[in-house]
Amino acid sequence: MTPSHTLMRDGLALAGYDVGDGPPVILQHGLGGDEAQVAEAFPGNGVRRLTLECRSHGASARGDRFSIAMFADDVLAFADARGVQRFAIGGISMGAAIAARIAVIAPDRVTALILVRPAWRTEASPSNMQAFETVSRFLASGDKAGFAASDVARTYALHAPDNLASLNKFFDSADPENTSLLLSSIAADGPGITEAQLRALSVPALVIGNAMDLVHPLASARHLGALIPRAAFLDITPKAQDKPRHLAELRAAITAFLQHQGLAS
């Protein structure tokens, strides 16, 4: 989809999408993803869906520094630019970390929270993100074959083939130096929030996880589902096992949650 709006931040043109009619729902993509990843997971029927492609993602300009906090500030600026004061917020993987941070730092603006396959709990540089640091190193040296022969690639091929496919896509980058910096920066980062802050959230929440996923441990999703007071937790079909079924269950779960909150028709 062609971006419908441009947000200027620090001299960078960021691609924004504001589609549909209904209650506003901001949904953010994962590391290396884009708006298409969000649209595939949730087309947005019955809601007004907003998505901002983060710096060095999709049609947005290349950045030279990256953090989850920065991405969250950009998303809030996009909401301001679109005149959206209150909204449901959610995301996939890194997008879930962005959404969780926004729910904590701007609780008066958030009506509901959706965390899909979260890669972070609250800590920085979690062990499940170290595969991205490994890709970053091989990408910086242009050594795709070296990554393919690495312990990380062999482990992921055996236990998380969908994750491995995503990791391999980074080697198709048109700007490997910038992508390497993006991966290493975000892999070492965290959402900058605490478990106490998550326990204090009062909004309804939905946390979705799946098995066969080393980047997004099911245990982390369960942990967040238990931590957030008004959260419901769902364990859906693994993406690595049956992607069409995974997406169908994901779309149905998000739609049902928003409808139950009166946030979708």
Angle between helices 151-159 and 161-169 (to 10 degrees): 130
| Residue 165 belongs to a domain | no
Contact 233/160 with Cβ under 8 angstroms? no
| Residue 24 belongs to a domain | yes
Q: Give me the domain span that covers residue 115.
A: 5-126+189-260
| Residue 250 belongs to a domain | yes
Q: What is the pTM of this model?
A: 0.97
| Residue 132 belongs to a domain | no
| Residue 143 belongs to a domain | no
CATH of the domain at 245: 3.40.50.1820
**Residue 176 structure tokens:** 């490997």
| Residue 136 belongs to a domain | no
| Residue 171 belongs to a domain | no
State the Cα–Cα distance between residues 190 and 124, nearest whole angstrom: 4
82 has pLDDT over 80: yes
| Residue 18 belongs to a domain | yes
On average, the pLDDT of the chain sits at 96
* Segment 94-145, tens digit of pLDDT: 999 999 999 999 999 999 999 999 999 999 999 999 999 999 999 999 999 9
The count of structural domains within the chain is: 1
State the Cα–Cα distance between residues 220 and 28, nearest whole angstrom: 19
* Segment 219-249, tens digit of pLDDT: 999 999 999 999 999 999 999 999 999 999 9
State the Cα–Cα distance between residues 31 and 67, nearest whole angstrom: 11
CA distances from 89 to 130, 176, 216, 262 (A): 27, 31, 19, 14
